[in-house]
Amino acid sequence: MVAATLIATVIAAGVLLWPVLEYLGGTDSSAVLDPVIVTDYRADLSVDREGTLTATETLTGSFPDDRHGIFRFWDVRDPSDDHVRLIPYDIKVTRDGHDEPTDLVWQQGRAFRVAKIGDPDRTLTPGEHVYVISYRIRGVLSPSTAGAAARASGSWPADRDRASFYWKVVAGGWQVRFDRTEVRVKLPTPATDVRCAYGYDDSGQCELTGVGTDSLTIRTGVLAPRTPVTIRAAQDLPAPDRVSLPWTPPYDGVLGQSRVVASGLGILALIGLGVGWAWSWRGREEPPGYPVAYEPPPGLGPVQTCYVMREQVPANALVATLLHQAQRGLTTIRQTEGSTWRIEAQGGDWDGVDRVTRQVGLALGVQNAGGAFGADGSVTAGSTLRSTSEDIAEDTKAWARGEGLVTNQLSEQIGRFLVLAAWVVAVLLVFIRPGGATIWALPFLGFGIGGMGLLFAEVETRRTAKGREQWARAGGFYRLLSTPSAQDRFDFSAQKDLYTAFVPYAVAFGCADEWAKKYKLSTGQEPPAPSWYFGPTTPHGLFGGSTAFAGFESSLRSSIGAYEASQSSSSSGGGFSFSGGGGGGGGGGSW
C-alpha cells in the first residue's frame, strides 16, 4: 500500500505540474507576416495614485478580405520583478462603434492573457476598420529602482520608496506595421525625469512632449512589426503596493494568481488527505498472531488457504489448483511435446477435495476417468483456461462469504467509490483548468492519495471471528513454507511425502523456491520427484524456479494469450536594454 501511495503521489505531482512544462516549452517564435496595416494607433493611458492603469487603445487598420478580426495579448509578467503580475481586467472591445465578439483565454500557462476578437464564422469586409480596446491593470507603478535602466544609469533616481511609471506604451508583440502612433499618458504627479525610446535596442527616439507636467504625449512615425515604445517617468510619490505572488510565473498555471485561492485549496487538500488516510486506515485489519502450523487449515485447498490469509485470489491460482488435483491422485500432469501439457483424469474421490478444486476439474472435463485436457497453445484451450481462471476468483469469494469467513463492508465500498470518483474529477479539472490553474484538482488528489488503501481488493470485505481463526492458521502454515524458522522442528526425513503434498500451497503463496530450498537445506538432498508428474525435465526442478514448472505455466499463459489475440484481431540574449524592461508587454495581430 505504501508503494501504491508513493506512485500515486508521483503521478499526482506530474498531473499538477504539467503546465510548468507547457510554460518552459514556450511558443512558436517564427515570424508571421501579417497583411494588416495599422494606419493610425492612438492610446490614452491614465494612472492613478494607487498604481491602477485605465487604458483605451484605438487602432485604425486596413484589412484584406480574408481576416476575421484581430487579437490582443498582454504579458502579465514584469521583467523587473518575477513575483509581480500585471493582469488586465474589464476588457471591452468595439469595432466600428459596435460591440465585437471577444473570447478571453490564457496561453503558455498563465503568462499571457489573450483576447481573440472577431467572429470565426464571418470574415471582415475588406477596407478600413476601427477597433477600440479598453482595459485596466493594477500595480503599474513600480519602485524607481526597478528595471535594467535604473541599474545601468547612475543619473536615474534610485529610491526604492519612490514610484516610477516604466511601461511599454506600444507593446512589442504587435505583428502588424504601424504607420504612426500617438500615446497620451496621464500620471498622478508631474514627471520631471522622463525617458522614451523605441525598439529593443533603444535605437529609436520618441517625439515626447509634456515633460514637467502630469500629461505626456509620445509620438512616432512608422514602426515595424514587433517594435515596442517604452517610457520611464519618475513620480514624486511613494511606490504603492503591487499585485505580487510568492511564486514565479512558471507556476501560475499550477497555483493560479491568487494567494487566497491557493491557500484555501491547499488547506482543503490537507483535509482531504487526512480524511482519505483515516478512511483507508480504518479499512485495515490487524493481523492475528501466527501459531506454529505443520499443515494447512483442514479442508482448505491452496487457493482457499491463500485467500483466507490475504483476501486475494493468488495470481497462480489455476496452476496451484491443477497441481493440487494431481497431488490428490485425481489427475496426472504429462509434458508431451515441447511446451505442450496434458492433464489426464485418474478417477478418485472428487468429493473429498475442496469446492474450488472440484469446479476446476469440472470445467476442464477431468472429473471422470479417461477425461483429459490439453494445454497446447490453441485458441480453444485458451478460452477454456481463461474462463476457468475467472471462475476460480468468483468461486473462492463466494465460498468465503458462504462459509461466514468474510463479510462485506459498506463503508469501505463507499470509500472506494469516492476515491475513484476523486481521481476522475481531479483528472477532469486538470484538463479543464478552471481559472487557468490545475490547483483546483488538488483537494481531490489529496483525498485520492490518502485513500489509496481503499482500492486494494481485500478492503472491500472484513474477516469475521471465524475468518480470523482461519487466517491465523493459514499464516502459520505460510511461515512454515516460506521461512527457515521451523526448519529444525520439521522432520523431512520422516515425512518426505509432505514436501510434494505442500508444493501446490507453496505455488499459491508464491514461495515454491523457498520451500524447495528449505527441503534441500534440511535433508541435503534434492526435492523428491512427484509420482503424478511425467516429463523429460529434471523432476526436482519442477517447482523451485524450474524449467518444467515455468514451461507448464508458460503453456497455460500461451493458450490464454492465443485466445485473447484472436479476440483482439476480430475487433479491431545576453545583457539588457532600456526598452527591454518595464511592464506593458504583449501585442497582437489579425486572424
Q: For 109-152, what is each residue's pLDDT tens digit?
A: 788 899 999 998 899 999 999 999 999 999 999 988 765 444 44
Region of residue 386 (phi > 0: left; psi between -120 and 50: alpha; otherwise: beta): alpha
Rounded Cα–Cα distance for residues 561 and 466 (Å) = 39
Beta bridge mates, 128 = 62
pLDDT at 538 over 50: no
Distance CA 352, CA 492 (A): 26
Element (H, E) at 562: helix 547-569
Give strand pairing partners of 195. 232
Tell me what percent of the chain is helix, strand and coil, each rounded to the nearest 5: 40, 25, 35
Per-residue pLDDT at 574 exceeds 60: no
What's the pLDDT score for residue 494?
60
- Run of H or E residues at 534: strand 533-534
Q: By C-alpha distance, which of 444, 548, 559, 453 is closest to 503?
A: 548
Q: Which helix (H) or strand (E) holds 220?
A: strand 215-220
- Taking residues 233-238, what's their average pLDDT? 92
Question: Any residues with CB less than 8 A from the CB of 89 and at least 6 apart, and which?
Answer: 135, 136, 137
pLDDT for 111 = 85
Once rounded to an integer, what is the mean pLDDT over residues 42-67? Answer: 95
Whether 114 contacts 133, CB under 8 Å: no
Q: What is the pLDDT of residue 336?
A: 75
- pLDDT, tens digit, 9 for 90 and up, residues 61-75: 999 988 999 999 999
Q: What does the alpha-carbon distance between residue 245 and residue 297 come to, in Å, rounded to a whole number?
A: 64
What are the cell numbers at 356?
474450488
How far is the CA of 571 from the CAs of 331, 381, 384, 565, in angstroms? Answer: 37, 20, 20, 10
Dist. CA 361–CA 331, nearest whole Å: 9
Tens digit of each residue's pLDDT (9 = 90 or more) over 161-216: 789 999 999 998 898 999 999 999 999 999 988 999 888 766 667 899 999 999 99
- What value does the CA radius of gyration of the chain take, rounded to a whole number of Å? 38
Band of pLDDT at residue 287, cut at 50, 70 and 90: confident
**DSSP calls for 458-469:** GGGEEE-HHHHH
The rounded distance, in Å, linking the Cα atoms of 474 and 290 is: 8
Distance CA 250, CA 266 (A): 18
Amino acid 376: pLDDT: 76
User: Which range has the worst mean pLDDT, 65-69, 436-440, 577-581?
Assistant: 577-581
How does 132-160 read in b/e, with b if 16+ C-beta sit within 10 Å? bbbbebbbbbbbbbbbbbbeeeeebeeee
Residue with cell 514584469: 78
Distances (CA, A) of 405 to 28, 108, 392, 399, 468: 63, 57, 17, 9, 8
Residue 125 neighbours by CB under 8 Å, 6+ apart: 65
pTM, 2 dp: 0.65
Closest CA to 102 of 138, 134, 57: 134
User: Which residues neighbour 191 within 8 Å (Cβ) at sequence distance 6 or greater?
Assistant: 165, 210, 211, 212, 213, 214, 216, 233, 234, 235
Angle between helices 302-310 and 379-402 (to 10 degrees): 60
pLDDT exceeding 90 applies to what percent of the chain? 46
Evaluate if residue 547 carries a pLDDT over 50: no
Distance CA 155, CA 316 (A): 82
Within its chain, how far is the Cα of 265 from the centroid? 18
Question: With contact defined as beta carbons under 8 Å apart, do 19 and 247 qualify?
Answer: no
Sign of the CA dihedral 424, 428, 433, 434?
Answer: negative
Pairing of β 533-534 and β 331-335: parallel
**DSSP reduced 3-state for 156:** coil
pLDDT at residue 355 tops 90: yes
Q: What is the pLDDT of residue 549?
A: 52
Alpha-carbon gap, residue 226 to 176, rounded angstroms:
8
Instruction: For residue 497, give the nearest of 329, 333, 339, 340 by alpha carbon.
Output: 329
